[in-house]
A and B are shown apart, each in its own frame.
Chain A
Amino acid sequence: MSPVKQTMDRRSFLKVSLLASGALVVGCGRPADVDADVSAQDTWVANLYVRINPDGTVTIVSKNPEAGQGVKTAFPMVVAECLNVDWKTVSVEQAPLDDRYGRQAIGGSRGTPDGWDDLRVAGTAARYLLVAAAAEKWGVPAAECTAESGVVEHAASGRSARYETLLEMAARLPVPDVGDLKLKSRPADFSLLGKFVPGVDNKKILTGQPLFGCDLRLDGMLYAVYAKCPVFEGKVRNANVDEIRSLPGVTHAFVVEGTDDLRGLRSGVAIVAETWWQADSARKSLRVDWDTNQADSSSDYEKRAEELRAESGETLGSAGDVDEAFASASQIVEAGYYYPFVSHANMEPQNCTALYKESGELEFWAPTQNPKSARQLVANTLGISRDKIHINLMRIGGGFGRRLRNEFMAEVAWIAREVRRPVQLQWTREDDMRHDYYRPGAWHDFKAGLDDDGRMIAFDHHFITFGANGETVSGADLSPNHYPAGLVPNFRLRQSLVETNVPTGPWRSPGHSAYGWVYQCFFDEVAQAAGRDPLEFRLDMLSRSYGDVQIDRQRMSDVLKLAAKKAGWGSREVGDGRGLGLAVHYDHGAYVAYVVEVAANGSFVKVDKVYAAVDCGPFINLSGAKNQVEGGFVDGLSTANLEVTFVDGAAQQGNFDDYELLRIGQAPKIDVEFIQSDNSPSGLGEPPLAPAAPAVCNAIFAATGTRVRKLPFSRSGISL
């Protein structure tokens, strides 16, 4: 058995206290996570608190919002596992934004890896204390006592005590040293973790109870729309707001000058009414004279990329002697790939509720992935102090990275200060799709040189991506250490930039959603050109390294082999018009491989079945983990079928009639299997996405002989 990787930060510390209610509170914190400006000596900082209540229930305070990634169920499971209580007695309280919690953003699949140690430390420390309390009460050695299902027992004397009877005594005992806690770490240690546990918010979701940001209703609340220029960066010259103000139900209509911050309050017209429908109806009569000076278009991007193709670009990374290796290669394979901009298209369009109080304080009820940066944005925009801003976190109807940006909060803040009543800003679907921070598109030109054995000895990669003022825009950068760096002896990554004014940002598995696609498709082409089996080719490539490799080659090989085995790769005929394709990828700490089976009828392709193998270390909730893999695959497939294009500085797609998300009939059956390794757990929100599209495209090739080198599929003559 391989050793457990110790990620525990020895600077973690614990604090135990007894509340007036009689509840025992165990907090766990890491000072490194807390902003320097909240380091007042008397401020107790904690990443989370575990509270054992006098009625025997357990509450944990969760600092991160829930957006469907399952953290609200997974975290209490970890506490229950370590505290040795029935997990159903554990519930989560959603914390508001509070500097004492340190990082409070969701993104980067970091919830599980960040929470893993703190949750286990807090849960285990609480259990140690309760056992010690019982031992002291009975005058027996703590080592002779056991704790299960919320009860401490001393078998030799037949005594037992429920946790809730031990709270006061536990609070008086010395706090255990974090380093002395023996934490459960391996799947073999777990009794609850790894089981299929349905979500804790299911009942509310399934009965339609208020839960999401847009579900909030406050007394006297008004509803707002905010009309911005369809052309990015456009500003209002003037608007017929007097006329708008006279329309039914409308209480306010005014121009907002806005700022030049593309991630902040942009110029627009606010319309506020008694109901949202009246605000949006009034918007149909809105006439705005827009000042625009931007004219980005997708066709210009394409022309520019074509010009850059012929240039050498900036070398971002290299190893060996690429040119000499190409000169000695016995075979050369070249291919160019393209993918477009795409939108996040959260099912819940952006919205936020705010109340500006007479005291000058501003309270939010926000579906945001990043409340701390929102607070800073609002403070800057309104010119008010951060400590006057209070942010309550609401369940999020889909994050995918979109809600790391918070301009909708700056908008509602400005409106709330104007109207001085609670106000809910609700974007339309069109607002949402036309004012996104898109995943940028890119072009990738690949050239591989093979030796006589069909092994890649040279790899040249020209990445033509998007930039502004000579720097890659958000979400458009590629690490020179990304595989196949380290897997090929002679390697070169070159980069060229197409200038853009379009706002871009992180989009689920930033970058990887596209990089997995280009690499895994091109490797298939190389394998085919070399006359080698795509699985054997990849396993062979992973069997050796040249310098530093950013992946664990063994783990990547293992998921590939497992997915292939499940699919019967190489051992069964799939029949005419059908094909199997595979892909593997690593990002955000996890390894995911898919084998996909498709059926083709001319250019029409149906993705029938997916065999998935995943190594994310020990997973917490079998249901949540599987759901992320199933959904991540669907998202990858869906997105490969979509694009956002630009004409004259505006997005052309606005709703689900021209941005057609995958529907149920296009979604495959998915069979997921996990490798329960002893590595530290990773998150799983992002890793399942990247290998989906390339596995599908490789299967399309196997079925039809068509290489999908341009996305969406329609650009390669394929329809789903």
Chain B
Amino acid sequence: MSNVTLKINGQSVSIDVPSDMPLLWALRDKLNLTGTKYGCGIGECGTCTVLVDGRPVKSCLRTAERMDGREITTIEGISEDASHPVQVAWHEEDVPQCGYCQGGQILAAIALLEENPNPDDAAIDKAMADNLCRCGTYHRIRKAIKRAARYAAETGGES
């Protein structure tokens, strides 16, 4: 066991975790932040994506211990009322089917738009390549990212 202090969604929390416990399971079982989902455990599906210092990271592949001092954002930390432009776009395009992978998809999309405020299909396909959707909502994910880009542009680039 080791004691780590994680900065999650703007708040510092201190927890005891086994030194090999992935961030995913620290979030889910220690902190009850169940928005981050388990899909494969080997970094293939992207369902467990979180942002670490703004970049998408598969939380099943990083130990919680190594996240000491880093800024972690989970899907719960984007907005409480789904008012972030990416969430608004996701709702208006009605992207989810089962919805299980969508938290990871949204975080990957937010990171993409931070880097490229106006991505084309090729840029979207590249940036979202790590996130599987078993229900096949890819067509709508592309549309939602473009819609979110428009909203962000309208509000002066804040996303």
Contact = CB atoms under 8 A, between A and B. Distances in A.
Q: Do A and B come from one complex?
A: yes
Contacts of A630: 136-137, 139-140
Interface in B35-57: 35-42, 44-45, 47
Given A202-B82, A202-B90, A281 B136 contact: no
Nearest to A249: B18
Interface in B90-106: 90-92, 94, 96-103, 106
Given A215-B34, A395-B99, A635-B136, A664 B125 contact: yes
B29 A627 contact: no
Interface of A: 67-70, 196-199, 201-203, 205-212, 214-215, 217, 223, 248-249, 274-278, 281, 345-349, 395-400, 426, 428-429, 623-624, 627-628, 630-635, 638, 655-657, 661-665, 667-670
Contact of A662 (B1, B33, B136): B136
B128 to A, nearest CB: 5
Given A199-B96, A635-B134, 20 more contacts: A67-B98, A202-B94, A207-B87, A208-B74, A208-B78, A209-B35, A217-B32, A248-B1, A275-B25, A277-B18, A347-B45, A347-B133, A627-B140, A630-B139, A630-B140, A655-B42, A656-B132, A664-B124, A664-B128, A665-B129
A403 B39 CA distance: 16
Nearest to B102: A205
B80 interface: yes
Interface of A is mostly: loop
B138 interface: yes
B132 A631 contact: no
A126 to B, nearest CB: 28
Contact-residue size bin, chain B (C-beta under 8 Å from the other chain): 35 or more
- Residue among B76, B92, B133 facing the most chain A CB atoms (10 A cut-off): B133
B102 A206 contact: yes
- Residue among B20, B102, B141 facing the most chain A CB atoms (10 A cut-off): B102
Contacts of B128: 664
A400 B134 CA distance: 10
A656 B45 contact: yes
- Residue among B47, B82, B124, B139 facing the most chain A CB atoms (10 A cut-off): B139
Contacts of B138: 634, 662-664, 667
A18 to B, nearest CB: 35
A249 B74 CA distance: 26
A274 B29 CA distance: 9
B22 interface: yes
Given A68-B98, A275-B21, A276-B28, A347 B34 contact: no
B125 A665 contact: yes
B94 A627 contact: yes
Closest 10 pairs (CB-CB, A-B): A208-B35, A634-B136, A68-B98, A397-B100, A208-B75, A631-B136, A68-B97, A667-B138, A665-B125, A205-B99
B147 interface: no
- Residue among A208, A211, A631 facing the most chain B CB atoms (10 A cut-off): A208
A408 to B, nearest CB: 15
Contacts of B101: 347
A635 B106 CA distance: 21
Given A347-B133, A656-B132, A207 B91 contact: no
A281 B18 contact: yes
B44 A657 contact: yes
A627 B40 contact: no
A209 B80 CA distance: 9
B135 interface: yes
A633 B136 contact: yes
B12 interface: no
A66 to B, nearest CB: 8
Nearest to A672: B139
- Residue among B1, B74, B106, B138 facing the most chain A CB atoms (10 A cut-off): B138
B66 interface: no
Interface in B110-159: 124-126, 128-129, 131-142
B70 interface: no
A595 B56 CA distance: 36
Contacts of A396: 98
A667 B139 contact: yes
B142 A664 contact: yes
